[in-house]
Amino acid sequence: MKIDFEHDLDREFIYSIGYSADTDPSLRHCAERNTVINGIPSYQNFWLNQCAMTGGASGGAWIKDMDETGKGTLISLNSWGFSHKVGMAGPNLQTKSGSCAQTLFNKARRSSNPGTRVKGYIVTTCED
């Protein structure tokens, strides 16, 4: 699946997919136009206002332009929501907005498996 690291926060129709703990093991999805929300004052996230997925759905794909085969473009991931109301936020992956997601993705794609000793990759700067 393609990944769009420069997708802006414009309102468009998004599909969000995940496994909520309250309905495990059923795969769930949300499909609606996104808005934006600030999790912290300086950082805007994508927001699906009517998405009722709960804890456990984190990491599920946010896909734009999904076709009937399930293919589309990944623009974000399920990340967080409020405990007192429905809604799901996904991070803005744009490097110019402060995300290092593309740098980490490129490093992982070009590197060999770090194995169990290293336990992952570290990104100290958002430059590729």
Rounded Cα–Cα distance for residues 4 and 76 (Å): 9
For residue 31, what pLDDT is reported?
94
Closest CA to 16 of 54, 64, 55: 64
Backbone angles phi, psi at 98, to 5 degrees: 110, 5
Rounded Cα–Cα distance for residues 73 and 62 (Å): 8
For residue 78, what pLDDT is reported?
93
* DSSP 8-state assignment for residue 113: P
Rounded Cα–Cα distance for residues 72 and 117 (Å): 35
Chain position carrying tokens 């990759």 = 121
pTM: 0.82
- All structural domains of the chain, each given as residue ranges with its CATH number in brackets, are 2-94 (2.40.10.10), 98-128 (no CATH)
Cβ pair 37, 49 in contact under 8 A: no
For residue 114, what pLDDT is reported?
65
User: In a 10 Å sphere around its CB, with 0-12 CB exposed, 13-18 middle and 19+ buried, how is residue 8 labelled?
Assistant: exposed
* DSSP 8-state assignment for residue 5: T
pLDDT tens for the 128 residues of the chain, in order: 899 888 877 788 999 999 888 777 788 889 999 999 988 787 888 999 999 888 888 899 999 999 999 899 999 999 999 889 999 999 888 877 777 888 888 888 887 776 666 667 777 777 76
Cβ pair 29, 17 in contact under 8 A: yes
